[in-house]
Structure 1
Amino acid sequence: MKYFIYCRKSTESEDRQVLSIDSQLKELQQKFTDPSIEIATIYRESFSAKAPGRPIFDEMMRRIEQGHADGIIAWHPDRLARNAVDGGRIIHLLDRNRLKDLKFATSSFENTPQGKFMLQIVFGYSKYYVDSLSENVKRGMRAKLERGWQPNKPPTGYKNEAEHRTIIPDPETFPTMTRLFDSAATGLYTVPALQRMMRDQWGFRTPRCKRTGGRPLGITSLYHILSNPFYAGYIRWNGQLYPGKHKTVITWNDFERLQVLLGRPGAKKPQTNTFAYTGLIRCGACGLMVTAEHKVNRQGHKYVYYHCTRHNVGARCKERSITSRELERQITESLYSIYVPANAIEHALNAVKASQDFRSTSVEPQRAMLEKAIRTCDLRLRAVLDMRERCLIDDQDLISRRAIIRRESIGLHEELSKLDQDVRWFEPVAATVSLFSRAAVWFMAGNDTIRRIILTTIGSNLTLRDKILNIDKVFPYSMHHDSMSFLSLCRLVNDVRTRYIARDPQILTLIDSIETLEKLLPDDITKAA
């Protein structure tokens, strides 16, 4: 039987204790020496598995689909999947007999219903480990904040002190920050004047890192520094202020007076003019944001023009401006390019629903098995507590056994929750896929707020170059093509369903945006579309 060897180690903290790729490969080659095991290809990948999208793993799965190998050899199941989508793909290939066997250095696997059930539990625990690791990191960051230290890289003028894990003034840049705030607090200089003074008279350059730094400080960065409460002894984190223990540059009272001088006391001022697409589009030539302004021509007609902000240090951007009318024409044209008739979408949704309804007959036995396993975990937990009460085990043994049982129970509850999600998928998936037919109609009928939401829902990385707007469409709208058949549309619907069941953050954000649009749009428009 032919096998692929797959070795993976992430560069992130989730795999800190895992063997290196070479060590994994060495162990696998030493363990699996049976002549009946034919190694077709060895795959090595340095990529996190906490979300779908590993290129080498996807290539391996594609080749298994094509029949190039019958099994996979890996050091541990969590090398293959730490997310529900990839774990589900492996189980699905086993169900279809495209994948006939899995071999692991740390455990055994049998391609039986019980074996696949245990494999799902292992995959579920791997996902739980990654999720809980994220929570532990957040908890550690909150603890550091409460101790008075910023948990990430400190701003210009400070540096991390490794030995005591504190923040201390940077001897190279701290004096300049003190001089900057002293000059700004006098009220004699505008921010552009301070920027020129730092660049031309003080010779200040940003601290050099691997790929950045060594350049004059920009206007925007200077505003961020002067409005950062860190320099006055407070750490801003998730919209809240925490008292810090680091050395300050300016007192809090002087800092508040400085914000008044800058025109930024308290909350931000509301903008006098609001434009639909400012803050969304970058200049394709220089990378700065595109802004907008009102213009009046000789005949007295008013126009809105979008152009590069051009507030860069050095040479000005030469990109020409574009009218809002032309910009919206291009957006509408892009939305029509992904159009799929509503009746075709309805047929595809119904076809996938019928297929899933047929498969759902097997859900109840699986639900019963999971509920039974959960009850067993509860009984085991009570038995362990009873053993401790009778002094048959000590506290350390109790803690260890209880942790193992609780991890199993959490994994089982996650699997049970996934089954429930599998039943309630239709409406949110239908709303997501129906945007193929609705987006252009809603855009033309909507106000600036609605148009902005539609654009950010369907597109990303918007750039304007030579008066042409480029929109990188997000999944599933990026999958549209002119020769889209009914089968490919069904596959697309099923892919969205799979990601929704796996609680893919991008799909969940999409659904939230579409729900917001449906609330903002009049009923006659939503029904007509």
Structure 2
Amino acid sequence: MRNSNRNLNLTCPIYTILRQVRLGVYIADRKTNIYFYKNLSILGEIYYNSHMKMAGLKYIIYARKSSEAEDRQVLSLESQVEELQKLAEREGLEVIDVLTEAKSAKEPGREIFNLMIEKIKKGEANAILCWKIDRLSRNPIDSGTIQWLLQKEIIKEIRTPERIYRPEDNALLWAVETGMANQYIRDLAINTKRGLKKKAEKGFKPGLAPLGYINNKYAPKGEHNYFPDPERFPIIRRVFETLATGNYTPKEVYRMATEEWGLTNRYGKKLSSSKFYTMLRCPDYYGEFEYPKGSGNWYKGNYEPAIDKETWLLVQEILNKKGNHKNRKIIHMFRGLLRCGECGGVLTSYEKIKKNKKGEVFRYVYYECAKKKNYPGICSQKPIREEELER
């Protein structure tokens, strides 16, 4: 077997040579510097790892997994930590802390990640042990922070089960790998938005169903619509129809709904007044929805509406009135209970006060189709007096 000392600094006054002729391993050490040439040697691995430990490498195990689509195929936090601890024990690495985080890395601002960086800057640790490099970062800001600390040798090593990153490594390779992780999350976001838009166009609103509906988890992928909640759906329909009559204030309807009719939130507890008013403002109940919210893009829902649009508009008109909490002295007995025979719109009511030539005051109540009032040209029916309805 050919002997060679080309990898040894034989001019050093103090050096140690370990020679394993059969496997061809040569390792020389001067103080903390290690010069080695090895060929699949178990003895060489043990010697190298022991010197890494002596050189002062202190590792932090960092494990991360988010609940978003980006990490569906990634090991759980417990599995990551278990595998990394086995690696540290096998390689003889000194671990000073174990940090886990259940949060997406697509944006900066992770608390546990920032804690790890602070520990490294304070000198408590100088190496990181993680499952894959994309566990550390999927955004350019955090990737740049790690790369800068690595180049300044504040971080002396980043180790994964697949490879090792050191300060002397090519910075371009690091930039490419972290850039791929960042681009992956960007592509994922674009594809997700595209998929959600297609879902909305089919009438399936993404996200949690409004109160009174239940998400259909068993529908095909991309068609997860919702269906009426048999317990709450009839109550919510009654809430809108009762409020549309104009005979009750929103506060009175809220009291009746929660105390008499049994309306609760999705957890079976009393519905708060703020959630009640939010429910009344939700357009989903008449069968249309805006997605994304505030975008101005409206879609027709592929589900059963609780009310029609006219009833919802009447409720909005009542909510927008100043002092809608005041008590009404006069109740229009047919308001909201009748529908137009021509177009099916709800009949709304109003009063007119007239004086005759003798100065006598007369009060008249008229009923008019809401569709004719809000959408001129749709209905041709004229207002009708309350006395004629009583005949």
* Normalised-by-shorter TM-score class: 0.5 to 0.7
Matched length: 259
Q: Does 1:240 align with 2:297?
A: yes
Give 1:49 shift.
2.0
The equivalences for 1:75-474 within 5 A come to 75-112=131-168, 114=170, 116-164=171-219, 165-208=224-267, 214-218=269-273, 220-237=274-291, 238=293, 239-263=296-320
- Deviation at 1:235? 1.1
Deviations along 1:485-520, one digit per CA (max 9) or x if unpaired, are: xxxxxxxxxxxxxxxxxxxxxxxxxxxxxxxxxxxx
Aligned to 2:354: none
Confirm or deny: 8 A CA contact 2:62 2:100 kept in the other structure: yes
Q: CA deviation at 1:232?
A: 1.1
- 3-state secondary structure, aligned to 1:85: helix
**Which amino acid counterpart does residue 195 of structure 2 have in structure 1?**
G
Pick closer, same or farther for the CA change 1:189–1:48 going to 2, 3 Å.
same
Residue 191 of structure 1 contacts residue 222 of structure 1 at CA under 8 Å; is this kept in 2? no
Shift in Å, 1:251: 1.9
CA distance in 1, matches of 2:119, 2:316: 60
Shift of 1:108: 4.2
Q: Which residue of 2 aligns with 1:45?
A: 101
Secondary structure of the residue aligned to 1:192 is helix
Distance 1:113 1:106 in 2: 15
Distance of 2:122 and 2:280 partners within structure 1: 59
- The alpha-carbon distance between structure 1 residues 261 and 94, as it changes in their structure 2 partners (threshold 3 A), is closer
Q: How far is 1:250 from its partner?
A: 1.6
Q: 1:124/1:186 Cα in 2 relative to 1: closer, same or farther (>3 Å)?
A: same
Taking CA–CA contacts closer than 8 Å with sequence separation of 6 or more, which of the two structures ends up with the larger relative contact order? 1
By how many angstroms is 1:144 displaced?
A: 1.5
Please tell me whether the aligned partners of residues 289 and 300 of structure 2 are also in contact (alpha carbons under 8 angstroms): yes
Structure 2 partner of 1:287: none
Question: Which amino acid letter does the alignment assign opposite residue 225 of structure 1?
Answer: M
| Residue among 74, 78, 98 paired with 2:130 | 74
Give me the TM-score of the superposition, normalised by structure 1: 0.45
Q: Distance in 1 between matches of 2:169 and 2:236?
A: 65
Distance of 1:4 and 1:200 partners within structure 2:
56
- Decide whether aligned partners of structure 1 residues 34 and 222 sit closer, same or farther in structure 2, where only a CA change above 3 A counts: closer
Residue 280 of structure 1 corresponds to none
Per-residue displacement from partner, 1:302-345 (whole Å, max 9, x unpaired)?
xxxxxxxxxxxxxxxxxxxxxxxxxxxxxxxxxxxxxxxxxxxx
CA distance in 2, matches of 1:74, 1:67: 19
The AA in structure 1 aligned to 2:111 is P
Q: Deviations over 1:215-249 (max 9, x none)?
A: 2441x433333332211111123333210121112
Q: Write the letter of the residue equivalent to 1:228.
A: C
Relative to structure 1, the CA distance from residue 10 to residue 223 in structure 2 (aligned partners, 3 Å threshold; closer, same or farther) is closer
Q: 2-side partners of 1:55 and 1:257: how far apart?
A: 48
Consecutive aligned runs of 4 or more in structure 1 exceeding 6 Å deviation: none
Equivalent-residue separation in structure 2 for 1:201 and 1:38 (angstroms) = 65
Tell me the secondary structure at the aligned position of residue 142 of structure 1. helix
Alpha-carbon spacing, 1:222–1:41, altered in 2? closer, same or farther (3 Å):
closer
How big is the shift at 1:35?
5.3
Shift, 1:169, TM fit = 0.2
Secondary structure at 1:40 match in 2: strand
C-alpha distance in 2, partners of 1:66/1:260? 61
TM norm structure 2: 0.60
When Rg is computed on C-alpha atoms for both structures, the one with the higher figure is 2
Contact 1:199 1:217 in 2 (8 A): no
Instruction: State how far apart, in whole Å, the 2-side matches of 1:9 and 1:263 are.
Output: 46
Alpha-carbon spacing, 1:97–1:217, altered in 2? closer, same or farther (3 Å): closer
Distance 1:252 1:171 in 2: 22
SS in 2 for 1:188: coil
Q: What is the alpha-carbon distance in structure 1 between the residues aligned to residue 259 and residue 92 of structure 2?
A: 73
Q: Shift of the alpha carbon at 1:102?
A: 1.7
Take 1:70 and 1:200, find their aligned partners in 2: how far apart are those partners? Answer: 62
Give the match for residue 348 of structure 2: none
Asked whether the equivalents of residues 205 and 216 of structure 1 are also in contact (C-alpha less than 8 Å), the reply is yes
**Gap change, CA 1:11 and 1:42, over 3 Å in 2:** same
Residues of 1 paired with 2:211 and 2:95: CA distance? 53
> CA offset at residue 199 of structure 1?
2.9
Contact kept in structure 2, 1:8 and 1:46, CA below 8 Å: yes
Inter-partner Cα distance in structure 2 for 1:35 and 1:199: 64
Instruction: Please tell me the residue identity of whatever aligns with 1:205.
Output: T
| Alpha-carbon separation, structure 2, partners of 1:112 and 1:31 | 23
Q: Return 5+ residue gaps in structure 2 as ranges.
A: 1-51, 323-391
1-structure distance, mates of 2:278, 2:60: 51
